[in-house]
Each structure stands twice: as structure tokens, then as C-alpha cells.
Chains A and B, each alone.
Chain A
């Protein structure tokens, strides 16, 4: 079965330090992977996606993600964390069903806390 795992419920990092939020996936076929961010009392906002091509994907707000096929991972990274990056982050994968329709599977989320 297709799945997405975010092994850390919370990640704490000091402002200015690099951050990594981990995501691993299990899908059949080529993965279509996404990262979203959720701020309090708001819906999710798209950060970046991997479909094909370069394994390092750049996205919004200085975030990037590294796709690693052999490790089935898609970790979110940022070279220098800001306090304003504190939020809830979700990894997601698109799942193509045998019916030809598409559904999405989300991870359980990782709360990022950037300490001043």
C-alpha cells in the first residue's frame, strides 16, 4: 500500500541554523511528491514538488527538498532557519489508482519550532 511517513513529530532548531524535516514514502511506480506548510488557523500552502528531473528541488520561502530514490526519501531543507518558519509541515504523495483516478496521501505532519 502507498504510504508516507514523517518520523519526527517535532523538530527544534536555532534561528540561523540549517533545518531538515524528514519524509519517506512507499509507492509503486514513479513518485509524485509534495511539501506543504500550515500556519495556525490557516489551510495548507504549497511549498514545492518533485515530479521528475533534478533530485534537488527548490521551492517557496527559501526551502528546498532532496529526492533520494534509493532511500525512498524526500527531506525538506533550508540552509538558515527563521523564527517565522515555525509551522506544521506535511509531506504528501500522489497515488494513481487502478480506476485511473488520483488520490493523495499525507504524512502525519512535523511541527517545526525555530528558536530565537
Chain B
């Protein structure tokens, strides 16, 4: 089954404790992206990756890191989480933006930073 898998689905942690949210897709997609969803603000893009080793900042990259060492994986790293990063996070992938393909989304990761 074609899917985008995020782990963990839920995480409660404390300020300053480094964490990684993993994202993996099995569709051989070039493009991958991370979003955060906050009430009243909709989805905002954090980082995206056009293909392996090519990443770029979205609209809200501060406090986050990403890496794209292989095509299927795109982890989101919070080196020193803070309470304002409490949010619902989504990973997404698509075949290629230039071909105008829609994004496939994971089911989300709800992070609570205390």
C-alpha cells in the first residue's frame, strides 16, 4: 500500500530535549516536505526537499533541521525543542512538483513540548 509513515504519532517531552520525528514514503517520490498545523493558521511549510541532498526552507524553519540522505526518508529534527513548537506535524511527499502531482500526507505527529 502506498503510504507516508510518520513516527511517533504522539509525543510529550520537555524543553531542550532533542527529538526526531521520522518520515518514510514507499512511492519513490522525489519531493518531500514537513508542515505544522496550528489552529487558525492552517498548514505552514517548515522545510522541503526537491530530491536527495537538496533541501530548502519553507515559511517557518526556525528551530528545525532536516536531512535527506536517501530518497525514502526525511526526518525532522528539533535540536532544542521549546513550547512554541507544540503542534501537529505532517510529512508529505509527491512525485515531482514540476509534474504538478498532488502531495500524499502522513497521518500526523502530535508534539507537546512542556
- Give A residues with C-beta under 8 Å from B: 6, 32, 34, 36, 41-46, 49, 51, 90, 92, 94, 97, 99, 101-109
Interface stretch, picked from B11-19, B62-70, B99-107, is B99-107
A41-B107 contact in complex given A90-B43, A101-B48, A102-B31, C-beta closer than 8 Å: yes
A108-B97 contact in complex given A43-B4, A46-B102, A103-B56, C-beta closer than 8 Å: no
Q: How many whole Å from B106's CB to the nearest CB in chain A? A: 5
Contacts of A102 in B (CB 8 A): 31, 48, 50, 97-98
Q: How many whole Å from A63's CB to the nearest CB in chain B? A: 14
CB proximity to A under 8 Å, residues B45-96: 45, 48, 50, 54, 56, 58-59, 90, 92
Contacts of B43 in A (CB 8 A): 44, 90, 92, 106, 109
Whether B106 pairs with A43 at a CB distance below 8 angstroms is yes
| Interface size band for B | 20 to 34
In the assembly, what is the distance between CA of A90 and CA of B105, in Å? 13
Whether B56 pairs with A49 at a CB distance below 8 angstroms is no
- Give B residues with C-beta under 8 Å from A: 4, 31, 33, 35, 40-45, 48, 50, 54, 56, 58-59, 90, 92, 97-98, 100, 102-108
Contacts of B58 in A (CB 8 A): 103
Whether A107 pairs with B105 at a CB distance below 8 angstroms is no
Whether A43 pairs with B50 at a CB distance below 8 angstroms is no
Contacts of A45 in B (CB 8 A): 105
Contacts of A101 in B (CB 8 A): 48, 50, 54, 56
